[in-house]
Amino acid sequence: MITIGFSTRQDNPSYISYIQKTCMYKEVQVIQKINNGEKSLSQVYNEIINESNHDIVVLLHDDLEFDTKNWGDKLLKTFDKNPDFSIFGLAGSKFLSQTSTWWDVRATMYGIVNHKHEGKKWTSTYSPDNGQKAEEVALVDGLFIAFDKTKIKHNFDETIDGFHFYDLGFCIPNFLDGVKIGVTNMVRVTHLSIGQTNEQWEINRQKFAYKYQSKLPINILPQDQNETFIFCHDQKLILEFEETKKFHSLYNYTYVFLGAKSVDEISHLNNLIVARDLEHNLEQYPLFTSFTGWYALWKNGLIKTKYVNMFEYDVLLDPYIDQQHAQFYEQNIEMIGYVAFPINHFQFIANKNWVEYILPAIKEVYNHDLPQYFARLVQKNPQSIWSSTSNTTFRSDIFDEYMKWFEPLIPYLKDTKTCGHAHERSITFFAHMRKKKQLITQGLLKHLQLDSHKTQGHAVNMDDSLRTLMAK
């Protein structure tokens, strides 16, 4: 059976009756605690735990509507079917950043919760409905927390004042001590308010972040699904990247050194591949820029993870880009692009400087008239976009397919001044010709285009760009 408890500012018999009616079990124990701020929510919840007659305890807000009939029965079945889990919530996250703000990275959030406010109702869907399957998380939101009190190792942290961060003060110490926490979709609620931060929230956040600073960030997302390759041709830059820890927020990253310059100062790095030292390489064609690195990795069989980030050195990355990718991987996205730009813009294929060799090559090799194809596409959807940078994330089997598709085009492009720009556009050409599931994001990556090979056709202030690149 279940004990259900809540804190409220005044006696609320109708809510007690509502809980009894909707949960299915008339004999359910409901504990109401009237509290006008005399006690913290952590203190109140611990009192409920101490007074509870049943092992399964549910603590919830006093402004919930239950959209699931007989939700108590479904909750008990969730515990029965997932015996490894001791705590359940309706929304939570696999990631908690150094700031202790658990919604910092939406892509790491799980669950489905309805909201109603000022006459409007909407659904916050943080992840697909998993049905009866529990989704493991590091923490759950406090609007609804259910747990087996015989399996938890910590009650609520009474050093946390007021009504904020009580949920993290309960979940995180339990999580750190091995208590398994999950999100369930078997119970649906409508929250009759929206979560808002205030001064007390910020004070509690700072205290919590300080208390757990040695444990943060907390991340239970898979960290072996992808690797990032960073293409660079200047060892001084790589040394500065390492000194400033520019890429240290990435799960796994490796520098791929391109060109013929010296590597004597970085040869000791464990995460370094020198393309020219590999059996198969195209380093005699430097204007191909990052593609020579792509080729070396592919031809020498060096990609081992399910997903691969192909990033140039002159990028600014969202500090949580790997975490942002988490649900994209779950959705089995085949390609992720960055820096969305209109397909109907002159610089895509109307500017002949970038495509004068690749379009005829594709026509000859694949008998595909791309200008005609994109003209029809834009006519149907004038808002069509392309990923206007070679920086791309691939599912590795799709990367292999792309390279096999592009390899016959290399002889047509390798000696041309703008072959790097042709490669950049070829990623979009491939995605459309092979009908790939490509997601084009905005804001996760910015490409500074330092134009070190002088093929951009416009002036670049290298000093300003380098200062931007190195800025923390």
Angle at the Cα of 263 (from 260 to 267), degrees rounded to 5?
A: 140
CA distance 10 to 98: 37
- 171 and 235 housed in the same domain: no
**What is the spatial distance between Cα 296 and Cα 274, in angstroms, rounded to a whole number?**
9
pLDDT of residue 454: 47
Shared domain check, 185 and 285 = no
355 close to 409: Cβ distance less than 8 angstroms: no
Q: Which of 41, 40, 42, 76 is nearest to 58 (CA)?
A: 76
Helix, strand and coil percent figures for the chain, each rounded to 5 = 35, 20, 45
Asked whether residue 201 falls in the same domain as residue 232, the answer is: no
Q: How far apart are the first and last CA of the chain?
A: 53
Residues 443 and 389 in one domain: yes
Supply the pLDDT for residue 465: 52
CA neighbor of 429 nearest in space, from 322, 328, 380, 357 = 357
Predicted local confidence at residue 458, as pLDDT: 45
| Spatial CB neighbours of 190, under 8 Å, sequence gap ≥ 6 | 64, 65, 67, 114, 115, 116, 121
Which of 192, 219, 246 is at the close of a domain? Answer: 219
Strand partners, 112: 125
Q: Please say whether the beta carbons of 157 and 166 come within 8 A.
A: yes
Do 205 and 139 have their domain in common?
A: yes
pTM, rounded to two decimals: 0.89
Boundary-marking domain end, from 174, 192, 219: 219
Single-letter residue type at 409: L
- Residue 341, sorted as left (phi over 0), alpha (psi -120 to 50) or beta, turns out to be beta
Q: How many independent structural domains does the chain possess?
A: 2
Tell me: do 150 and 296 sit in the same domain: no
Rounded to whole angstroms, the Cα distance separating 230 from 302 reads 14
Question: In terms of domains, do 94 and 163 share one?
Answer: yes
Examine the domain organization and report whether 136 and 277 are in the same domain. no
Q: What is the pLDDT along the chain (472 residues), one digit of tens a residue?
A: 899 999 999 999 999 999 999 998 878 999 999 999 899 999 999 999 999 999 999 999 999 999 999 999 999 999 999 999 999 999 999 999 999 999 989 999 999 999 998 888 999 999 999 898 999 999 999 999 999 999 999 999 999 999 999 999 999 999 999 999 999 999 999 999 877 788 999 999 999 999 999 999 999 999 999 999 999 999 999 999 999 999 999 999 999 999 999 999 999 999 999 999 999 999 999 999 999 999 999 999 999 999 999 999 999 999 999 999 998 999 999 999 999 999 999 999 999 999 999 999 999 999 999 999 999 999 999 999 999 999 999 999 999 999 999 999 999 999 999 999 999 999 999 999 999 999 999 999 999 865 554 444 544 454 555 565 556 5
Amino acid 452: pLDDT? 54
Cα angle value 108/74/175 (rounded, 5°): 40
- Same domain, yes or no: 21 and 132: yes
Q: What CATH code is carried by the domain that includes residue 434?
A: 3.90.550
Residue pointed to by tokens 């206007």 = 388
State residue 472's pLDDT score.
52
Where is the domain boundary, 185, 219, 253?
A: 219
Neighbours of 174 (CB within 10 A): 22
> How far, in Å, CA of 425 to CA of 348, rounded?
7
Report the half-sphere exposure of 81 (CA within 13 A, side-chain side): 14
Are 445 and 317 in contact, with CB atoms under 8 Å apart? yes
- CATH number, domain of 109, equals 3.90.550.10
Domain that holds residue 65: 2-219
pLDDT at 27: 82
- Residues 265 and 385 placed together within one structural domain of the fold: yes
**What does the buried/exposed string (b/e) look like for 67-94 if buried means 16 or more CB atoms within 10 Å of the residue's CB?**
ebeebbebbbebbeebeebbbbbbbbbb
* Together in a domain, 67 and 128: yes
Q: How far apart are CA 237 and CA 233, in angstroms?
A: 8
Judgement on whether residues 208 and 286 belong to the same structural domain of the protein? no
